[in-house]
A and B are shown apart, each in its own frame.
Chain A
Amino acid sequence: MAAPARRYRFLERGTLSWPDLDPLLLILAIVLPLIGGVVVASALMPVMADDAAAFGAAILRNSLITTAGIAVALGVAQIDYRRYGHRSWLLYAIAVVLLVAVLVPGLASSAGPHRWLDISFLSFQPSEIAKPALIITLGYWAGRVGDRLRHQRTFLIGFLLVLIPLLLVAIEPDLGTSIVILATSSAIAFVAGARLRHFLYVAAVLALGVGLSIMRNPYQFIRIQAFFSPGDDLLGSGYQAQQSLLALGSGGITGKGLGMGTMKFLYLPAPHTDSVFAVIGEELGLLGTAALTLLFVLLLARGLWIAYHAPDTYGRCLAAGISFQLATQAFINMLVVTGRLPVTGLPLPFISSGGTSLIVSLAMLGILMNVSRAASLGARR
């Protein structure tokens, strides 16, 4: 198990020695952020109309983040995932500390939900850090415990491992990210071989928790209510959902053309982040939205293939967790925009504007590439 690790330390030979990267993942790591960069530039046009300098600054910032993110993906792909598994506890601890910090009044940015952390020039969402931290920790832990996961006590430890960041994110409040964390963790546990019976216990506990959460945060209830009766509140939550559909319909099959969408001009809420899929729908049509959906299907399929061929449980959990998380978050975002799910405020991975989300997503893709390398070596063996 230790032998292949040396081959991935890319500075070891003194030259930049690329491992044979997973070609599909490499394409996705470049194409998805580029699509995002272009569409976000279009979605920011209303900013350009108001303040050209701010628009320029945003485009420059996004370009830098995209470039940095792709570099991070390629860099992370060089590092054998088994080299940092035993240090994942540290990552987990940092994530938890940050999630607690974001709830401290002085450190959180602005009013409303406490999702952002401002540390001098850095402004980021700790929940975005927590997502990969939990995948790595949980995956490594699952690899360590092995079959003992099927014991109730071990499973309970794993559940608590998930529950801490899950609750911290939920009380920010950020229900969408909580759901993604829960889904991803469940997927990892599922792949690692946990008993189905245990999932049922968890479901019962969480149903109770969700009920409490909704009671604490009325706006979540309003969104859910609006979702079930979109006609009632056209100027509020239902209005957002309705505008997304108008954008999709306006695009039709072929779209209005890149940049030519009009719904992003204050009709769509957050056109460059949560509603970016609606902008794609209006400007690039069904061809654009279907193609993007397909890219995420490919990402998931490739990730599960890697998981299947991964040399160990840890790698399997990483591959399944990462690909399932990215795809699930993308599909939830799309189902929100298309009106199948209530508004949750989740960004579309790789596409939505947002530094933390993009860099973390690409870093996870890098990890996936590395597992892929190990998997293909294993498959060849």
Chain B
Amino acid sequence: MATTSPKNPGSKATGAPRFGRRLLILGAIGAAMAAATGERLANWQVLEAGDLAATAGVQQRNEQIIASRRGAILSRDGTAMALSMQVDRLIGSPNVITEYDTADVARYLAKVLDVPYEQIMAKIGDPSVAYVVVAEDLDPDQSAQIRQSMRRGEIGGFRLEPVARRVYPGNFLGAHLIGFVDGAGKGHYGVESFYDQELTGRPGLVISDQDPRGRTIPVGNYDPLPPVNGATLILTMDRTIQRIAEQELEGALARFGSSSGSILVVDPRSGDILGMANRPTFNPTRLDTYSEIGENFINPAVSLIYDPGSTFKIMTMAAGLDAGVIGPGSRHNLPGVYEYWGLEFKNWDERTYPNQDMVSVLANSSNTGAIFVADQLGADAYYDYIRAFGFGETSGIDLAGEVRGILKARGSLSWYPSDLAANSFGQSISTTPIQMAMAFSAVANGGLLLRPRTVGRIATAAGNVVNPAITEIRRVLRPTTSRTLIDMMYQAEHSIPGNRALRLRYSTVGKTGTAEISAAGGGLLPEQTIASYIGFGPRENPQVLISVKIDKPRTGTWGSRVASPIFRQMVDRVFEYLRVPAVA
């Protein structure tokens, strides 16, 4: 501004300054402040903007995992065997209850929750506690009542926390097959473990901006990835058949003074497990009552091994027939005692049966007859067949914890030539019940080894239904061999006087087994056996296979006395339930 302005006279007399210059100085001060502001703005909003925005983003970003709902497990007939439901639990913060009368609150809760007042007071009485679980598993009515009271401000310092609970309406029913879920939502044993991923689904994730109090900022980032709920599994297990199997097993164990055993019901045409009963067992709904996850949680049908005994003679006979080294009419003396590679083998009654056919080997369950068949085949061919039947490998069943059993074949270090003889009648070989059932299924279905399965259908949360195909592992026998062997088994079973396995209504075939139990330190346990029977029917078109195994029966040791009558009972009830045509 011009200092020569006529309006800015100054005063030479008083020495008054020219205000124009002073106004300019004020302007310069303002400009300096504006420039300082501009410099800072350029710094923060351009140069440092990236770092600052990132810091702000981290400060506000919140990731919340949303649990997916675990899928249900249904029986073949559509009944829920395992369900996930959300229940509330009541959390208290006694340190903030202070503005209420704690005793009043406790009396109110005691009434709603139906628990003693003292019990509530013990939990919320101490005002220094910030977090205490007041009650678990509230029923919906209790939740609603408490929620309403909280809304009305009648009680304070509490909140309801949703918790996922796995419920097994059948309790013990099919426990080993189903398994259980732990507190963290992870499946253990059975289907719950094997299909854990499918059942769990995929948890969701919500990424959002939050204010310092944890509330979502409406104009902030909001990126929700919704959870995918778990799939529903439809078991091959039929609830009625499972119930029959468990009832019969319970009854048998009581009758024969045994504490453990298994009954399997399998469809030999598909490998579907219709029933799988085991004792001892557990109740997956009441896991809290078990001090440890003990032996009763192990599924003996797939995870425990035993020497099958005479039922295995069917495998030996099938191999001999299929290879053509013997026929149904092949004849042989069945010596009472027979020495093979330095070891003595005996028939169960130590009797010699001269000039018998192969049906007689089965009917009399002759050990020496089985040795004859295996010897005719030779070790290489014999073990090829045994492996083809699935021994020495897992059956591939869709249950957790399956074991392979122990097959010492020629070529393995611990194998002796005499083992061929022992194996031919089911000793010195360890199998699982499921392996035996599938090997028998191969005989029943015309010679195919199938993969057993417990889940027949998977329905995803999105509504897609997967029907897993029946899996053929391999052909073991020619169909004619299967046919011939079934006929031989039929003749053999009917030639046994007073056979407790047979029923006139249904034409079934099968084989008893009385296995000796290997002691832990070698040798055999005296007077202790595993009594078993594996059979199927109807003879012309086998639809159902039932395997019965009773461990260490105290009254009666023989399969024919212990397991056969259970098989007969099972056939009666299961065949009738499935409307299998009776013999005319």
Show the binding face of A for B, using Cβ within 8 Å. 45-46, 49, 147, 150, 187, 190-193, 245-253, 259-263, 265-267, 281, 285-286, 289-290, 293-294, 296-297, 300-301, 304, 307-309, 316, 320, 324, 327-328, 331-332, 334-335, 338-340, 378
**Residue of B whose beta carbon sits closest to that of A296:** B34
In the complex, the answer to whether B49 meets A252 with C-beta atoms within 8 Å is yes
**Residue of B whose beta carbon sits closest to that of A309:** B7
In the complex, the answer to whether B36 meets A335 with C-beta atoms within 8 Å is yes
Q: Chain A's nearest CB lies how many Å from the CB of B208?
A: 10
- Say which residue of B1, B14, B218, B220 sits within 8 Å of A308 (CB atoms): B1
B497 at the interface (CB under 8 A from A): no
The stretch among B19-27, B166-174, B254-262, B510-518 that forms the contact with chain A is B19-27
In the complex, the answer to whether B51 meets A249 with C-beta atoms within 8 Å is yes
Complex Cα–Cα for A104 and B220 (A): 44
With A45-B219, A147-B11, A249-B44 given, is the CB distance from A320 to B26 under 8 Å?
Answer: yes
In the complex, the answer to whether A289 meets B45 with C-beta atoms within 8 Å is yes
Q: In the assembled complex, which residues on chain A have CB atoms less than 8 Å from the CB atom of B46? A: 252-253, 286
In the complex, the answer to whether B30 meets A286 with C-beta atoms within 8 Å is no
Interface flags, B3-21, vs A, CB<8A=1, else 0: 0010110010011110110
Complex Cα–Cα for A378 and B33 (A): 31
Complex Cα–Cα for A266 and B17 (A): 51
Q: Chain A's nearest CB lies how many Å from the CB of B303?
A: 56
- Can you name 18 A-B pairs with beta carbons within 8 Å? A49-B215, A190-B22, A190-B25, A191-B23, A191-B26, A246-B52, A246-B56, A247-B56, A248-B45, A249-B51, A249-B53, A250-B56, A252-B45, A253-B46, A266-B212, A297-B30, A297-B34, A327-B33
Q: In the assembled complex, which residues on chain A have CB atoms less than 8 Å from the CB atom of B44? A: 245, 248-249, 281, 338-339
In the complex, the answer to whether A285 meets B23 with C-beta atoms within 8 Å is no
Interface size class of B (residues with CB under 8 A): 35 or more
In the complex, the answer to whether A308 meets B16 with C-beta atoms within 8 Å is no
In the complex, the answer to whether B59 meets A246 with C-beta atoms within 8 Å is yes
With A250-B52, A293-B34, A297-B34 given, is the CB distance from A150 to B16 under 8 Å?
Answer: yes
Q: Chain B's nearest CB lies how many Å from the CB of A71?
A: 28
In the complex, the answer to whether A246 meets B41 with C-beta atoms within 8 Å is no
In the complex, the answer to whether B30 meets A331 with C-beta atoms within 8 Å is yes
B192 at the interface (CB under 8 A from A): no
Q: Chain A's nearest CB lies how many Å from the CB of B40?
A: 3
In the complex, the answer to whether A339 meets B42 with C-beta atoms within 8 Å is no
**Residue of A whose beta carbon sits closest to that of B50:** A249
B384 at the interface (CB under 8 A from A): no
Complex Cα–Cα for A304 and B51 (A): 40
In the complex, the answer to whether B218 meets A45 with C-beta atoms within 8 Å is yes
B55 at the interface (CB under 8 A from A): yes
In the complex, the answer to whether A249 meets B19 with C-beta atoms within 8 Å is no
Other than the given A250-B57, A300-B26, 5 more pairs (CB < 8 A) read A246-B56, A249-B44, A252-B49, A293-B41, A339-B40
Interface of A is mostly: helix
Which residue, of B45, B55, B215, has the highest number of chain A Cβ atoms within 10 A? B45
B145 at the interface (CB under 8 A from A): no
With A289-B41, A316-B19, A331-B37 given, is the CB distance from A249 to B56 under 8 Å?
Answer: yes
Q: List B196-220 residues whose CB lies under 8 Å from chain A.
A: 209, 211-213, 215, 217-220
In the complex, the answer to whether A327 meets B30 with C-beta atoms within 8 Å is yes
Q: In the assembled complex, which residues on chain B have CB atoms less than 8 Å from the CB atom of A46? A: 211
**Residue of B whose beta carbon sits closest to that of A375:** B7
- Say which residue of B11, B14, B27, B209 sits within 8 Å of A304 (CB atoms): B27
**Residue of B whose beta carbon sits closest to that of A48:** B218
In the complex, the answer to whether B37 meets A147 with C-beta atoms within 8 Å is no
In the complex, the answer to whether B30 meets A281 with C-beta atoms within 8 Å is no
B576 at the interface (CB under 8 A from A): no
With A49-B215, A262-B219, A267-B212 given, is the CB distance from A190 to B56 under 8 Å?
Answer: no
Complex Cα–Cα for A308 and B48 (A): 41
**Residue of A whose beta carbon sits closest to that of B47:** A249
In the complex, the answer to whether A308 meets B56 with C-beta atoms within 8 Å is no
Q: Chain A's nearest CB lies how many Å from the CB of B53?
A: 5
Show the binding face of B for A, using Cβ within 8 Å. 1, 5, 7-8, 11, 14-17, 19-20, 22-27, 30-31, 33-34, 36-38, 40-42, 44-46, 48-53, 55-57, 59-60, 209, 211-213, 215, 217-220
Q: In the assembled complex, which residues on chain A have CB atoms less than 8 Å from the CB atom of B42? A: 286
- Say which residue of A187, A252, A263 sits within 8 Å of B26 (CB atoms): A187
Q: Chain A's nearest CB lies how many Å from the CB of B573?
A: 66
Complex Cα–Cα for A234 and B285 (A): 51
**Residue of B whose beta carbon sits closest to that of A321:** B26
Complex Cα–Cα for A246 and B59 (A): 10
Q: Chain A's nearest CB lies how many Å from the CB of B276?
A: 56
**Residue of A whose beta carbon sits closest to that of B8:** A308
**Residue of A whose beta carbon sits closest to that of B2:** A308
Complex Cα–Cα for A252 and B43 (A): 10
In the complex, the answer to whether A190 meets B26 with C-beta atoms within 8 Å is yes
Q: In the assembled complex, which residues on chain B have CB atoms less than 8 Å from the CB atom of A286? A: 41-42, 45-46
In the complex, the answer to whether A262 meets B37 with C-beta atoms within 8 Å is no
Complex Cα–Cα for A338 and B218 (A): 26
**Residue of B whose beta carbon sits closest to that of A341:** B36
In the complex, the answer to whether A49 meets B59 with C-beta atoms within 8 Å is no
Complex Cα–Cα for A245 and B53 (A): 9
Q: In the assembled complex, which residues on chain B have CB atoms less than 8 Å from the CB atom of A340? A: 36-37, 40
Q: In the assembled complex, which residues on chain A have CB atoms less than 8 Å from the CB atom of B212? A: 266-267
- Say which residue of B15, B30, B40, B56 sits within 8 Å of A338 (CB atoms): B40
- Say which residue of B14, B51, B217 sits within 8 Å of A265 (CB atoms): B217
Q: In the assembled complex, which residues on chain A have CB atoms less than 8 Å from the CB atom of B211? A: 46, 265-267
Complex Cα–Cα for A82 and B36 (A): 36
In the complex, the answer to whether B26 meets A324 with C-beta atoms within 8 Å is yes
In the complex, the answer to whether A147 meets B14 with C-beta atoms within 8 Å is yes
Complex Cα–Cα for A260 and B219 (A): 6
In the complex, the answer to whether A193 meets B213 with C-beta atoms within 8 Å is no
**Residue of A whose beta carbon sits closest to that of B55:** A246
Complex Cα–Cα for A338 and B35 (A): 12
In the complex, the answer to whether A249 meets B48 with C-beta atoms within 8 Å is yes
Complex Cα–Cα for A294 and B219 (A): 29
Q: In the assembled complex, which residues on chain B have CB atoms less than 8 Å from the CB atom of A334? A: 37
With A249-B48, A300-B30 given, is the CB distance from A266 to B53 under 8 Å?
Answer: no
Complex Cα–Cα for A289 and B49 (A): 14
In the complex, the answer to whether A281 meets B52 with C-beta atoms within 8 Å is no
In the complex, the answer to whether A293 meets B59 with C-beta atoms within 8 Å is no
